[in-house]
């Protein structure tokens, strides 16, 4: 029985180290580089619509209404996600932090409005760790779905006859 006693203690140490590292990690600077979102690093814990590598690439969000309306809708959708903290917002850039439920790991998520293309570029990356087990990609897809649903729920302008 004593041979197995080390397993729970080892797991507890890993959990504690993860929690401490997530809380102690400092907030990174903005990932905007020359007006674009920075590409992901080498670790498989990031997705970015402006990264050309297939393992990191994710489609940007698209919209058909006015850019300012789409941006307001995006901000509302993102800030209504659970465990989200607003870090920075401008008329064309949004940066938020998401915290995982159990270990409170921090992920940095950024959005960049491209009004002429009718797209919103996105970058979602884990602050610590190697792999995110697909969490960042799944998060962006949930936001995409909510963003599209909110657009379809918006009232359409009526034309006078």
Residue 124 lies in a domain: yes
pLDDT tens column, 110-146: 999 999 999 999 999 999 999 999 999 999 999 999 9
Please state the pTM of the whole predicted model.
0.79
Contacts of 114 (CB under 8 A, 6+ apart): 60, 120, 121
Residue 95 lies in a domain: yes
Stretch 137-157: mean pLDDT: 87
- Domain of residue 123: give its range: 30-153
Q: Count Cα atoms within 13 angstroms, Cβ side, for 149.
A: 9
Q: Pick 128 or 160 by higher pLDDT.
A: 128
Give pLDDT, residue 21: 45
Residue 7 lies in a domain: no
The tally of domains found in the chain comes to 1
d(CA 86, CA 69): 19
Residue 9 lies in a domain: no
CATH number at 75 reads: 3.30.310.80
Helix (H) or strand (E) holding 71: helix 67-79
Structure token pair of residue 134: 């697909």
Check: CB of residue 48 under 8 Å from CB of residue 40. Answer: yes
Check: CB of residue 20 under 8 Å from CB of residue 37. Answer: no
């Amino acid at each position: 029985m004593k041979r197995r006693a080390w397993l729970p203690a080892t797991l507890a140490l890993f959990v504690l180290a993860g929690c401490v590292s997530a809380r102690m990690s400092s907030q990174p600077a903005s990932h905007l580089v020359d007006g674009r979102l920075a590409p992901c690093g080498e670790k498989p814990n990031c997705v970015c619509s402006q990264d050309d590598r297939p393992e990191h690439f994710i489609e940007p969000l698209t919209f058909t209404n006015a850019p300012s309306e789409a941006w307001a809708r995006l901000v509302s959708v993102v800030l209504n996600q659970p465990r989200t903290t607003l870090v920075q917002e401008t008329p064309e850039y949004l940066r938020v932090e998401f915290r995982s439920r159990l270990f409170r790991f921090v992920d940095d998520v950024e959005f960049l409005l491209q009004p002429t293309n009718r797209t919103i570029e996105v970058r979602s990356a884990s602050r610590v760790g190697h792999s995110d087990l697909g969490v960042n990609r799944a998060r962006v897809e949930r936001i995409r779905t909510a963003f599209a649903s909110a657009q379809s729920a918006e009232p359409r302008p009526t034309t006078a006859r």
